[in-house]
């Protein structure tokens, strides 16, 4: 439950969408206004409701285009306007996030507030780098320290005290001060060979990790052009980084993919790729829209053939609008073109009577005939898109099976700008419509030979090949199977 006129201070975590808390995600979904910093992950910003007001206050280390006093003022003003306000901050709001200052301003203005903790990058970035911040054989304490300094001033750190602590030192906002930090610790007597690490873009697909010795920390940062956001870790636990590395070992780590689907579908594919370590850009090329259609007399048909999960949703929604439910399908057999289409029937209490071993309309028709599941006495209703592959109907017609097509939705192309498919390791396509949508955006003069197309099935592959793309086809036409296949491809290419 969210309250009008209330500000929710939400820690968004270090960047990985999967590290946002459930409470934070629920508040974000209900927000009318979202005030966010630049370090909040793009995938998290994509969760903001379409109708919500977005206010980018642009804060990141060393760059505050909107001063803190003005941010405080914005929060008060937006809360006074009435809607629930989410203040979205990278990491945790109270770990060098100036969240306390914002709460002071809200309290003085009499604005109600709630704080939702976030996972701090100090812990998460180290974890994604394979570095446990504590280990009983190496240290008994950890210390989070800001490496941020005011312009033209030195850090005000008690280096001898930090050395005496003997624990793991985690320096946030510290890239610009790496040399000063290393020099201060060395002057205070820390072992020059003390293990140290730098983690750039922690928890994100672009993460880079460098393990070194304290005496070489400054050179490591400079040589590798490390940029903010980055975490500096000093302590014996850094020696475990290679042994415990798991993030860099993910099968798609270091690879970039362009995902083309409808908006909802693209996000599902993108989430799966990111879990495998990939860097993903979503460029939805299509959108599905339900069509108005004359409701058929279902009693004349012996079976309904569903050719997509979208078709299931559109048909069942229209069934409900007719003040009917699944009982209207009693006595009719249900055939689904694939596993995902069959899964879309289940929430309505329906089970597909048959799913082909290969997920295409042509294979569905052939296997129905081969297994004698349909015959001359049948009349099939094909529930499909307005523009659909013709093979299903062609095979049925050739076999003399009566059927009628019912167009329940259409696929429309969406504009795609600012994306060059050749700049990615591969482009994923889950339908021929996605291929056509991308080609419409690229234009006829684009050289598609530079595009590596990973396709969900033969029909999609044919569309991509016709454009000149370098085509590879998933052995099974489902998203989970396609993701497994992509991971296996990457493994084979590395070995």
Known catalytic residues are: 37, 59
Spacing of C-alpha 238 from chain mean position: 29
Helix/strand/coil for 146: strand
The position carrying tokens 């300094």 is 149
Sign of CA pseudo-dihedral 399, 400, 402, 404: positive
The position carrying tokens 């500096």 is 232
Query: What's 302's DSSP letter?
Result: S
CB atoms within 10 A of CB 1: 6
β-pairing verdict for 256-260 and 279-282: parallel
- The DSSP-derived string for 86-106 is EEEESB-TTSSS-HHHHHHHH
Residues in the chain: 495
Among 192, 8, 209, CA closest to 125: 209
Q: What are phi and psi of 7, to 5 degrees?
A: -105, 130
The position carrying tokens 């008060």 is 76
Residue 6's DSSP bridge partners are 112
Please, is 376 exposed, middle or buried when counting C-beta atoms within 10 Å of its C-beta (0-12, 13-18, 19+)? Answer: exposed
Helix/strand/coil for 475: coil
Is the CB of residue 424 less than 8 Å from the CB of residue 259? no
Alpha helices (H) along 109-246: 121-128, 159-165, 178-187, 217-223, 241-244
| Those residues with Cβ within 8 angstroms of residue 70's Cβ, 6 or more apart along the chain or in another chain | 57
Tokens of 293: 């259609």
Helix/strand/coil for 31: coil
Q: H-helix or E-strand containing 112?
A: strand 112-116
What is the rounded distance in angstroms from the CA atom of residue 379 to the CA atom of residue 159? Answer: 83
347 HSE (CA, 13 A, CB side): 8
Is the CB of residue 453 less than 8 Å from the CB of residue 430? no
Among 212, 234, 233, CA closest to 222: 212
């Amino acid at each position: 439950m969210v309250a009008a006129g209330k500000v929710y201070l939400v820690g968004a975590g270090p960047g990985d969408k999967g590290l946002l808390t459930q409470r934070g995600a629920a508040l974000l979904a209900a927000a009318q206004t979202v005030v966010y910093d630049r370090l909040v992950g793009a995938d998290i910003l994509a969760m903001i409701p379409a109708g919500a007001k977005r206010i980018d206050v642009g804060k990141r280390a060393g760059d505050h285009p909107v001063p803190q006093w003005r941010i405080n003022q914005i929060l008060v003003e937006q809360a006074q306007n009435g809607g629930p306000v989410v203040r979205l901050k990278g990491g945790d709001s109270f770990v060098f996030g100036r969240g306390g200052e914002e709460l002071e301003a809200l309290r003085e203005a009499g604005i109600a507030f709630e704080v939702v903790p976030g996972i701090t990058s100090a812990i998460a970035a180290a974890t994604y780098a394979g570095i446990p911040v504590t280990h009983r054989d190496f240290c008994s304490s950890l210390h989070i320290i800001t490496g941020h300094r005011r312009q033209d001033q030195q850090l005000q750190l008690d280096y001898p005290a930090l050395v005496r602590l003997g624990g793991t030192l985690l320096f946030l906002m510290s890239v610009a001060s790496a040399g000063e930090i290393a020099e201060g610790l060395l002057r205070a007597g820390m072992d020059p060979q003390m293990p140290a690490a730098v983690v750039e873009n922690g928890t994100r697909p672009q993460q880079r990790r460098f393990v070194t010795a304290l005496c070489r920390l400054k050179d490591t940062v400079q040589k590798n052009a490390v940029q903010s956001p980055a975490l500096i870790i000093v302590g014996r636990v850094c020696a475990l980084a290679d042994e415990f590395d798991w993030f860099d070992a993910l099968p798609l780590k270091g690879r970039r993919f362009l995902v083309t689907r409808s908006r909802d579908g693209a996000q599902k594919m993108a989430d799966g790729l990111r879990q495998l370590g990939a860097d993903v850009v979503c460029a939805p090329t299509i959108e599905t829209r339900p069509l108005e259609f004359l409701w058929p007399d279902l009693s004349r048909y012996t079976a309904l053939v569903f050719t997509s999960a979208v078709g299931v949703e559109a048909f069942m929604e229209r069934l409900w609008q007719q003040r009917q439910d699944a009982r209207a399908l009693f006595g009719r057999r249900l055939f689904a073109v694939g596993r995902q289409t069959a899964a879309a029937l289940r929430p309505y209490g329906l089970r597909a009577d048959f799913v082909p071993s290969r997920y295409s309309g042509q294979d569905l028709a052939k296997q129905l005939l081969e297994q004698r599941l349909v015959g001359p006495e049948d009349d099939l209703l094909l529930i499909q898109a307005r523009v659909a592959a013709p093979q299903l109907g062609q095979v049925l017609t050739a076999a003399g099976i009566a059927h009628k097509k019912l167009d329940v939705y259409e696929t429309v192309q969406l504009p795609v700008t600012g994306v060059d498919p050749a700049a990615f390791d591969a482009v994923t396509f889950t339908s021929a419509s996605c291929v056509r949508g991308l080609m419409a955006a690229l234009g006829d003069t684009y050289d598609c030979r530079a595009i590596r197309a990973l396709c969900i099935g033969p029909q999609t592959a044919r569309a991509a090949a016709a454009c000149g793309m370098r085509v590879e086809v998933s052995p099974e036409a489902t998203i989970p199977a396609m993701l497994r296949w992509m991971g296996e491809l990457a493994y084979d290419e590395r070995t």
